[in-house]
Amino acid sequence: MSEAAAIPAELAEASSARLTWLRFKRHRLALWAAGFLLVSYIVVGLCEFFAPYDPNWRNPRAIFAPPQEIHFFDHEGNFHLRPFVYGYELNINPETWVREYTEDPSRRYPLKFFSVGQEYEFWNLFNANLHLVTVEDGQYMHLFGTDALGRDIFSRVIYGGRVSMSLGLIGVVLTLFLGILFGGLAGYLGGWVDSLVQRAIEVIQSIPTLPLWMAMSAALPPHWSPIGIYFGLTVILSFIMWTGLAREVRGRFLAMRKEDFVVAARLLGASQMRIIFKHMLPSFTSHIITIATLAIPGMILAETALSFLGIGLRPPVVSWGVLLQQAQNYQVIVLTPWLLIPGLFVILVVIAFNLVGDGMRDAADPYGGRH
Amino acid sequence: MSNLPILSIRKLSVEFSSELGVNPVLHDISFDMMRSRTTAIVGESGSGKSVTANATMRLIRSPGKITGGEIVFSPTAGTSFDILKLQEGSDEIYDLRGGKIAMIFQEPMTALSPVHTIGNQVMEAILIHQKVSKTEAFQRACEMLQRVGITQAEMRMNQYPFEFSGGMRQRVVIAMALVCQPQILICDEPTTALDVTVQAEILSLINELKHAIDTTVMFITHDLGVVAQVADDVVVMHRGRILETGTVRQVLKSPLHPYTQGLLAAMPGRAEAGQRKARLQTVSDVYDENEFAACPLVAIGDNRQVALPIDAIPSELRP
Amino acid sequence: MANYIIRRLLTMIPTLLVISLVVFILIQLPPGDIITSTLESMRQQGMEASDEQIEALKAQYNLDKSMPMQYLHWLFNFVQGDMGYSIKYQQPVNTLIWERMGYTVIIAIASLLFTWALSIPIGIYSAVRQYGWGDYFFTIVGLLGLATPNFLLALVLMYFGYTWFGVSVGGLFSPELAEAPWSWEKFVDLLAHLWIPMIVIGTAGTASIIRILRANLLDELSKPYVTTARAKGVRPIKLVFKYPVRVAISPFISTIGWLLPSLISADAIVSIVLNLPTTGPLMLQALLSQDMYLAGSFLMLLSILTVVGMLLSDILLAIVDPRIRYE
Element (H, E) at A187: helix A153-189
What is the rounded distance in angstroms from the CA atom of residue B151 to the CA atom of residue B123? 17
Element (H, E) at A282: helix A281-309
Residue A142 lies in a domain: yes
Into how many domains does chain A fold? 2
Test mutation, C101, C146, C203, chain A, max A CBs within 10 A: C146
CATH fold group of domain C98-277: MetI-like fold (1.10.3720)
Test mutation, A214, A335, A344, chain C, max C CBs within 10 A: A214
Q: Are C234 and B128 inside 8 Å of each other by CB?
A: yes
Residue B273 lies in a domain: no
For the domain that residue B226 is a member of, what is the CATH number? 3.40.50.300
Test mutation, C131, C216, C232, chain B, max B CBs within 10 A: C232
pLDDT at A320: 92
More confident call, C202 vs A282: C202
Closest CB from C225, C230, C243 relative to B110: C225
Q: Are A1 and B54 inside 8 Å of each other by CB?
A: yes
Distance from CA of B54 to the nearest CA of A (A): 8
pLDDT at A3: 38
Residue A44 lies in a domain: no
Q: Are residues A181 and A290 in the same domain?
A: yes
Closest CB from A203, A212, A330 relative to C155: A330
Burial class of residue C206, CB neighbours in 10 A (0-12, 13-18, 19+): buried
The count of residues in chain B is: 319
DSSP string covering C146-157, please?
HHS-HHHHHHHH
Residue A10 lies in a domain: no
Domain end: A149, A182, A210, which one? A149
Residue B56 lies in a domain: yes
Q: CA end-to-end span of chain C, whole Å?
A: 11
**Does residue B62 belong to the interface with chain A, where contact is any CB pair within 8 Å?**
no
Q: Are A210 and C14 inside 8 Å of each other by CB?
A: no
Distance from CA of A281 to the nearest CA of C (A): 25
Contact B221, B227 (CB under 8 A): yes
Residue A9 pLDDT class (50, 70, 90 cuts): low
Domain end: A121, A149, A177, which one? A149
Q: Are C243 and B176 inside 8 Å of each other by CB?
A: no
Q: Are residues A233 and A334 in the same domain?
A: yes
- B304: pLDDT strictly greater than 90: no
Give mean pLDDT, residues B16-36. 84
What is the rounded distance in angstroms from the CA atom of residue B220 to the CA atom of residue B234? 10
Long-range Cβ contact pairs of C55-62 (< 8 A, separation 24 or more): C61/C33, C61/C34, C61/C35
Angle between helices A281-309 and A209-218 (to 10 degrees): 70
Residue A156 pLDDT class (50, 70, 90 cuts): very high
What single DSSP character describes residue C200?
Answer: H
CA dihedral (B269, B272, B273, B279) positive or negative: negative
- Domain span at A227: 156-364
Give mean pLDDT, residues A99-118. 83
Q: B121: helix, coil or strand?
A: helix
Q: Are C19 and A301 inside 8 Å of each other by CB?
A: no
- Domain span at B129: 5-265+280-317
pLDDT at C166: 65
pLDDT at C305: 84
Residue A38 lies in a domain: no
Residue A41 lies in a domain: no
Residue B187 lies in a domain: yes
What is the per-residue pLDDT across B170-224, written as a single tens digit (0 to 9) for each?
A: 889 989 988 888 999 999 888 887 888 888 888 899 999 999 988 999 999 988 8
For the domain that residue A191 is a member of, what is the CATH number? 1.10.3720.10
Chain C: residue nearest B179 by CA? Answer: C232
What residues does each domain of chain C span?
Answer: 98-277
Q: Are B20 and A5 inside 8 Å of each other by CB?
A: yes
pLDDT at A369: 43
Q: Are residues A205 and A137 in the same domain?
A: no
Burial class of residue A227, CB neighbours in 10 A (0-12, 13-18, 19+): exposed
Domain end: A133, A149, A165, which one? A149
Q: Are residues A130 and A196 in the same domain?
A: no
Into how many domains does chain B fold? 1
Q: How far is CA A123 from CA A47, A98, A200, B148, B291, in A?
A: 9, 40, 40, 79, 72
Q: Percentage of residues in chain B with pLDDT exceeding 90?
A: 18
Q: Are residues A253 and A359 in the same domain?
A: yes
What is the rounded distance in angstroms from the CA atom of residue B207 to the CA atom of residue B210? 5
What single DSSP character describes residue C86?
Answer: E
Q: Are residues A129 and A230 in the same domain?
A: no
Residue B135 lies in a domain: yes
Q: Are residues A142 and A163 in the same domain?
A: no
Q: A325: helix, coil or strand?
A: coil
Distance from CA of A256 to the nearest CA of B (A): 22
**Type of residue at C200:** V
Q: Are residues A166 and A299 in the same domain?
A: yes
Q: Are B113 and C229 inside 8 Å of each other by CB?
A: yes
Residue A25 lies in a domain: no
**Does residue A221 belong to the interface with chain C, where contact is any CB pair within 8 Å?**
yes
- C34: pLDDT strictly greater than 70: no
Chain C: residue nearest B172 by CA? Answer: C228
**Does residue A343 belong to the interface with chain C, where contact is any CB pair within 8 Å?**
yes
Q: Are residues A183 and A269 in the same domain?
A: yes
Closest CB from A207, A311, A346 relative to C287: A311
Q: Are B46 and A26 inside 8 Å of each other by CB?
A: no
Nearest to A308 by CA among C104, C284, B205: C284
Q: How many CB pairs under 8 A join B and C?
A: 75
Distance from CA of A353 to the nearest CA of C (A): 10
pLDDT at A6: 46
Q: CA-based Rg of chain A, rounded to a whole angstrom?
A: 26
Interface pTM (ipTM) of the complex?
0.81
Mean pLDDT, chain A, integer = 82
Give mean pLDDT, residues C272-301. 83
Q: Are B57 and C231 inside 8 Å of each other by CB?
A: yes
Q: Are C159 and A202 inside 8 Å of each other by CB?
A: no
Q: Are B60 and A1 inside 8 Å of each other by CB?
A: yes
